[in-house]
């Protein structure tokens, strides 16, 4: 077991017990309330998810294991031999095991990830089948999902893994996927924008440095430093943001890391979430193009902002679902830009927007947070270093987000968290909560369906009765026909006539007296064939016309019935007598014969 995994096992097995006991002892303790605005308004602020790796405060911004961005820049190990920016390896270590790693720890992790970083051939083949102009985020998601075939969790689950080992398999998947992401992302970048000329990774480089190297646009140490910072600050934003929450939800179904992270990336690809980073620079570029200057005045910028708002669009890079102050991730990038590239025109526009946008958004009166978020700054810096293809930007974000989300997925597995399943309500329910009357739907009558069910039940019951009868031997099969005859024989003359006539017809045609009993038994046993036999007999007797009509099944039956009815009317009296006199006698005889036959057979 590797050193990080061992540490995680020790920590998580202890905390798992504590969390379990907490639930047992204090499960009923109320820690939050939910109002209607939250239900309609995207569940803002509802405390409902266990997330270990980071926490977001509306005013202070993100903290990773309790440390703010300026603090982690201080405490996390840097690249050996220089560089001011923290290594993302250190942040992953810290998020996973809640300890500040040593330089030796992060060096080990860099090597470990390098050793796991090779992309499966299947992934390369899959990507090769996609048109090059497929959006990079779509390619990224497909690439991640294609690797699902290598999931340790999925394989071990299929083999019957013990649930206490879920965390172990998830850890392996998380480590493999994180290790491969820079290679996958760089591969997509080179495929789409550089004619598929790829750059091999450098085993001496760290995770983020190697990513910068494989992008192949700027091999300076500054760009590598930027990537180290970028991949650190985008790593996690507690559990409720759309991408993290998606991963958490999918993960809770015991779908493996590749599936859950693929889902997370689909969320990130939305313009209100991660795609905003491409939208910001696109918007800035549109503005400079329209104003025909990269050094616009504040007034020109304000006019462009208002034009955007008038067109019913948002100002990308501004506002936040939780934050109510400028995003510390924006500030961290600003500090980087001040240190490295303060004379860049686009960077200056970003700072100008920071001045001009908030008062305009604030004046709208509805925007809860008029301040810049993380996406407001990143594009300008990336363009400076030569990464101008903004449709690629969200992929960078995605590579980073894996660190927090996958570290947390290990925790979810270690805790044995159940399937996520909140309760939904509809607008009628909400209205009822505040006393608004809601028209009730008329209940649908299900009577017909019930009777069908009853009929089915009755049909099923009959054969059962027969079996019982046969076994018991005390009551003969004739019990059922007897009853029906009895029913039909008495007052319901028409019913009797229907069934009686054919019986007679059969009897007449086929030597009624000689083998009356057995024939009647057959007729009595199966009522449907009995009718058919009777009708056929009648049809034969009927006029030639009827026989021609007989070719067409339905009319033949009707015609035949009419004929029978006529004959019945004529022979009613006789029929009554026959039924009344002969049947009981015949059946009694039959009962005896049948019983005797069976007894003989059984013997």
Question: Is 305 an interacting residue with respect to ligand COA (CB under 6 A)?
Answer: no
Is 2 noted as a catalytic residue in this protein?
no
Longest dimension (CA), the chain: 120
Segment interacting with ligand COA, rule: CB under 6 A, options 53-61, 332-340, 366-374, 437-445: 366-374
Give the pairing of strands 54-57 and 67-68: unpaired
Kind and range of the H or E element at 353? helix 345-364
Between CA 46 and CA 240 the distance in angstroms is 9
Is 234 noted as a catalytic residue in this protein?
no
Sheet holding 61-64, edge to edge: 54-57, 61-64, 67-68
**Residues pairing with 55 in the sheet:** 63
The answer to whether the Cα torsion of 106, 111, 115, 118 is positive or negative is: positive
Q: Which residues contact 571 (CB under 8 A, 6 or more apart)?
A: 501, 504
Nearer of residues 369 and 559 to ligand COA, judged by Cβ: 369
**Window 309 to 328, contacts with ligand COA (CB under 6 A):** 314-321
Segment interacting with ligand COA, rule: CB under 6 A, options 250-258, 363-371, 388-396, 399-407: 363-371
> Cα Rg for the chain, rounded, in angstroms?
41
**3-state class of 186 per DSSP?**
helix
The answer to whether the Cα torsion of 427, 433, 437, 440 is positive or negative is: positive
CB 237 to ligand COA: min, Å: 8
Is 320 noted as a catalytic residue in this protein?
yes
Helix 393-415 vs helix 221-233: angle between axes, to the nearest 10 degrees?
A: 40
Segment interacting with ligand COA, rule: CB under 6 A, options 226-234, 367-375, 391-399, 577-585: 367-375
- The residue within the footprint of ligand COA, chosen from 251, 269, 375, 380 (CB under 6 A), is 375
Number of chain positions touching ligand COA (CB under 6 A): 18
- The residue within the footprint of ligand COA, chosen from 10, 272, 438, 453 (CB under 6 A), is 272
- The residue within the footprint of ligand COA, chosen from 26, 33, 47, 366 (CB under 6 A), is 366
Neighbours of 307 (CB within 10 A): 12
**Window 456 to 475, contacts with ligand COA (CB under 6 A):** none
Q: Which token pair is 539? A: 């049809």
Neighbours of 294 (CB within 10 A): 15
Phi, psi of 2 (to 5 degrees): -75, 165
- Nearest residue to ligand COA, by Cβ distance, number only: 319
- The residue within the footprint of ligand COA, chosen from 39, 367, 469, 595 (CB under 6 A), is 367
Nearer of residues 95 and 374 to ligand COA, judged by Cβ: 374
Residue 500: half-sphere exposure toward Cβ, Cα within 13 Å: 29
CB 253 to ligand COA: min, Å: 27
Question: Is 238 an interacting residue with respect to ligand COA (CB under 6 A)?
Answer: no
The residue annotated as part of the active site, out of 105, 173, 236, 375, is 375
Are residues 335 and 329 in contact, defined by beta-carbon separation less than 8 angstroms? no
The residue annotated as part of the active site, out of 234, 273, 377, 384, is 273
**Window 397 to 416, contacts with ligand COA (CB under 6 A):** none
Question: Is 296 an interacting residue with respect to ligand COA (CB under 6 A)?
Answer: no
- CA 164, distance to chain mean position in Å, is 25
- Spell out, one character per residue from 275 to 294, where the chain touches ligand COA: x when CB under 6 A holds, - when not: -x------------------
Nearer of residues 201 and 240 to ligand COA, judged by Cβ: 240
Burial of 384 (0-12, 13-18, 19+ CB in 10 A): buried
Phi, psi of 107 (to 5 degrees): -65, -40
Question: Is 490 an interacting residue with respect to ligand COA (CB under 6 A)?
Answer: no
Question: Is 333 an interacting residue with respect to ligand COA (CB under 6 A)?
Answer: no
Segment interacting with ligand COA, rule: CB under 6 A, options 47-55, 364-372, 397-405, 469-477: 364-372
CB 305 to ligand COA: min, Å: 9
CB 231 to ligand COA: min, Å: 17
Helix 345-364 vs helix 328-340: angle between axes, to the nearest 10 degrees?
A: 150
- The residue within the footprint of ligand COA, chosen from 145, 170, 369, 533 (CB under 6 A), is 369
Give me the residues that bind ligand COA (CB under 6 A), please.
272, 276, 314-321, 361, 366-369, 373-375
Catalytically active residues are 273, 320, 375
């Amino acid at each position: 077991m590797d050193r990080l995994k061992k540490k995680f096992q020790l920590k998580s097995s202890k905390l798992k017990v504590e969390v379990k006991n907490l639930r047992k002892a204090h499960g009923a303790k109320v820690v939050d309330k939910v109002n209607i605005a939250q239900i309609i308004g995207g569940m803002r602020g509802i405390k409902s998810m266990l997330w270990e790796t980071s926490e977001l405060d509306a005013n202070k911004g993100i903290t990773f294991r309790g440390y703010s961005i300026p603090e982690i820049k201080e405490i996390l190990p840097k690249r050996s031999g220089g560089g001011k920016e923290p290594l993302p390896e250190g942040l992953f270590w810290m998020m996973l095991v809640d300890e500040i790693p040593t330089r030796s720890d992060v060096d080990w992790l860099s090597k470990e990830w390098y050793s796991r970083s090779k992309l499966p051939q299947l992934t390369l083949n899959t990507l090769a089948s996609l048109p090059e102009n497929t959006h990079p985020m779509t390619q990224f998601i497909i690439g991640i999902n294609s690797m699902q075939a290598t999931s340790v969790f999925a394989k071990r689950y299929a083999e019957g893994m013990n649930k206490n080992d879920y965390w172990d398999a998830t850890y392996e998947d998380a480590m493999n996927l994180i290790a491969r992401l820079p290679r996958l992302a760089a591969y997509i970048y080179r495929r789409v924008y550089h004619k598929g000329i790829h750059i091999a990774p450098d085993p001496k480089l760290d995770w983020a440095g190697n990513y910068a190297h494989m992008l192949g646009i700027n091999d300076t140490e500054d760009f590598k430093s930027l990537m180290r910072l970028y991949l650190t600050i985008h790593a996690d934003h507690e559990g409720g943001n759309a991408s993290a929450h998606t991963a958490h939800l999918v993960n809770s179904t015991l779908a493996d890391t590749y599936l859950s992270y693929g889902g997370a990336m689909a969320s990130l690809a939305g313009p209100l979430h991660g795609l905003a980073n491409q939208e910001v620079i696109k918007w800035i570029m549109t503005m400079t193009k329209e104003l025909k200057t990269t050094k616009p005045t504040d007034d020109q910028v304000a006019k462009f902002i208002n034009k955007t708002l008038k067109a019913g669009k948002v100002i990308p890079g501004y506002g936040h679902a939780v934050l109510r102050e400028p995003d510390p991730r924006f500030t961290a990038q600003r500090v980087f830009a001040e240190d490295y590239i303060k004379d860049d025109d686009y960077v200056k526009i970003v700072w100008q927007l920071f001045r001009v946008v908030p008062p305009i958004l604030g004046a709208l009166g509805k925007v809860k947070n008029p301040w810049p978020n993380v996406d407001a700054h990143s594009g300008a810096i990336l363009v400076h270093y030569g990464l101008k293809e903004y449709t690629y930007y969200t992929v960078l974000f995605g590579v980073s987000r894996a660190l927090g989300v996958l570290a947390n997925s290990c925790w979810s597995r270690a805790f044995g968290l159940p399937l996520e399943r909140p309760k939904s309500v509809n607008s009628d329910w909400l209205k009822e909560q505040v006393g608004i009357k809601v028209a009730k739907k008329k209940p649908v009558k299900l009577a017909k369906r019930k009777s069908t069910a009853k009929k089915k039940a009755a049909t099923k019951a009959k054969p059962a009765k027969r079996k019982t009868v046969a076994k018991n031997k005390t009551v003969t099969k004739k019990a059922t026909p007897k009853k029906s005859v009895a029913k039909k024989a008495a007052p319901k003359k028409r019913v009797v006539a229907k069934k009686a006539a054919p019986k007679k017809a059969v009897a007449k045609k086929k030597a009624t007296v000689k083998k009356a009993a057995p024939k009647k038994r057959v007729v009595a046993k199966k009522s449907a064939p009995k009718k058919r036999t009777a009708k056929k007999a009648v049809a034969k007797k009927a006029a030639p016309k009827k026989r021609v009509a007989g070719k067409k099944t339905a009319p033949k039956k009707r015609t035949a019935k009419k004929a029978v009815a006529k004959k019945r009317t004529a022979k009613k009296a006789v029929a009554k007598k026959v039924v009344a006199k002969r049947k009981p006698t015949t059946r009694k005889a039959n009962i005896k014969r049948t019983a005797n036959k069976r007894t003989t057979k059984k013997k």
